[in-house]
Amino acid sequence: MNAPRYTGPVYDRVADHLVRKLKGILFHAGPLYFRITPIMPAHHADTLIIGAGAAGLMCAITAAQRGRRVTVLERSNKVGKKILMSGGGRCNFTNLHISPDRFLSANPHFCKSALSRYTQWDFIDLVEKHGIEYFEKKTVNGLSGQLFCRESSKQIVAALLNECQEAGVEVITQCDTAKILQNNGFHLEGNKGTFSAETLVVASGGLSVPSLGGSGYGYQLAEQFGLRQLPLTAGLVPFTLTGALHDLFARLSGVTCEVVVSNPRASFREDMLFTHRGLSGPAVLQISSYWKPGEPVEIDLLPGRDVNRLMTGWKRTHPRSLLRTQLATTLPGKLVTELEALFWPHNRDQPLAEWQDRELEAIAGQLKCWSIKPAATEGYRTAEVTLGGVDTRDLSSKTMESKVGGLFFIGEVVDVTGHLGGFNFQWAWSSGHAAGQEV
């Protein structure tokens, strides 16, 4: 029996619809027409890398140079967003003084292998290979070692992409991953099609700065595959204050001074910045990674100075002067005004000659150990890093491979966090290289 033929204006419109709509396919099945969504192409590679940041790109370059077919999937519209924004647009790409004791982890020994096998000098060689001029930033403590691009952080991203291109790495942006399965390799489904590979590298970063692509996706994958994780907190992040101190610091917003900020676990001598919300600046960002909610931090406003001796000396040499006048020669004037109202309001107009030595000693103690209890931090919105993450007990320190064979975790998603000053980028380069040598 012959199949009936359908003619007439209705079917003419359907035929016209076929021409206009290229996204779907219409086929004839009796009197009805069904729309079929085109099947996205399948991508096959030796290695899939989730995340085109510092760690992901370094891993891709290293693996591809070994002859591996590598595909990098990035959910943002461009690669290396954190690289581009770091260091005020100049990228603090590493530090001359890389050492394991500048990193936080539940296992302080975990980072040693990767850092020793791809060092800061190796990345500096890459920078110089691409003709990128750089400089060392000077800091108040004289221990900087922080290296920045002289022109732009775009040069670092361009160098990495150039290396990817030469090695044959495929980079796909705006690629959201909906599902990942493991069955004789790894299989990903997303808006850009399906992907499969022998090995999978998670380089998706942490929760810090979500506006630059920070997300918890890597932690979700770790949970999916049964890996242990340590609690997540914001690191290298400003403090917020409440009450009278919030108002005081808001009045000082923009004022900076060199301090030592300490708690029982760490101490940093660098600049501190007062903000309209609380405290920031390098010293505060550093100590924030060691801070626990509810505890105070101690601030030495005149580091390296014997303040009691300094003040008694002013009493002898400037007996008719006011304390605020002399103190303003060593601290910002606006800060001194606020400290006067806080620490010696009743002696504000008293010449130094009339101060008792024990009174000056008490003020000196307050300036050397100003105890401040932050209300909180500004959180992931402004944090430079995420503390905690994938437990290193479930990873190889040599290869970054997890206890799930063929699954690797690198960069910020791992429980390794560096100090401020290029250390976290070096961890990205080193851990990415370690995984790239194995995948």
Considering the domain architecture, whether residues 108 and 227 belong to the same structural domain is answered as yes
Considering the domain architecture, whether residues 49 and 173 belong to the same structural domain is answered as yes
Could you tell me which residues come within 8 angstroms of residue 230 by beta carbon, excluding any fewer than 6 positions away?
A: 106, 388, 389, 391, 415
Q: What is the CATH number of the domain that holds 188?
A: 3.50.50.60
Considering the domain architecture, whether residues 308 and 257 belong to the same structural domain is answered as yes
Considering the domain architecture, whether residues 289 and 219 belong to the same structural domain is answered as no
Considering the domain architecture, whether residues 130 and 93 belong to the same structural domain is answered as yes
Centre a 10 Å sphere on the Cβ of residue 311 and count the other Cβ atoms it contains: 21
Q: In terms of residue numbers, what domain contains 131?
A: 43-235+382-436
Centre a 10 Å sphere on the Cβ of residue 210 and count the other Cβ atoms it contains: 12
Q: Is residue 278 classed as helix, strand or coil in its secondary structure?
A: strand
The per-residue pLDDT for 435 is 98
Give pLDDT < 50 ranges for the chain.
1-39
Could you tell me which residues come within 8 angstroms of residue 20 by beta carbon, excluding any fewer than 6 positions away?
A: none
Distance CA 291, CA 376 (A): 10
Centre a 10 Å sphere on the Cβ of residue 411 and count the other Cβ atoms it contains: 31
The per-residue pLDDT for 213 is 82
Considering the domain architecture, whether residues 3 and 134 belong to the same structural domain is answered as no
Considering the domain architecture, whether residues 204 and 267 belong to the same structural domain is answered as no
Considering the domain architecture, whether residues 174 and 195 belong to the same structural domain is answered as yes
Distance CA 58, CA 90 (A): 19
Sign of CA dihedral 289, 294, 295, 297: positive
From 377, 404, 420, give the residue that closes a domain: 377
Considering the domain architecture, whether residues 215 and 329 belong to the same structural domain is answered as no
- Bridge pairing between strands 417-418 and 42-50: unpaired
Total count of domains within the chain:
3
Q: How is 310-359 classified by DSSP, letter by letter?
A: HHHHHHHH-TTSBHHHHHTTTS-HHHHHHHHHHH-GGGTT-BGGGS-HHH
Distance CA 336, CA 51 (A): 48
Kindly calculate the radius of gyration of the chain based on its CA atoms and give it in whole angstroms.
Answer: 29
Q: What is the mean pLDDT of the chain?
A: 91
Residues counted in the chain: 439
Distance CA 210, CA 221 (A): 18
Q: What is the CATH number of the domain that holds 271?
A: 2.40.30.10
Considering the domain architecture, whether residues 228 and 345 belong to the same structural domain is answered as no
pLDDT digits 0-9 by tens, 401-437: 999 999 999 999 999 999 999 999 999 999 999 999 9
Place of tokens 């599902």: 179
- Bridge pairing between strands 278-280 and 239-240: antiparallel
Cβ 97 vs Cβ 418: under 8 Å = no
pLDDT digits 0-9 by tens, 350-397: 999 999 999 999 999 999 999 999 999 999 999 999 999 999 999 999
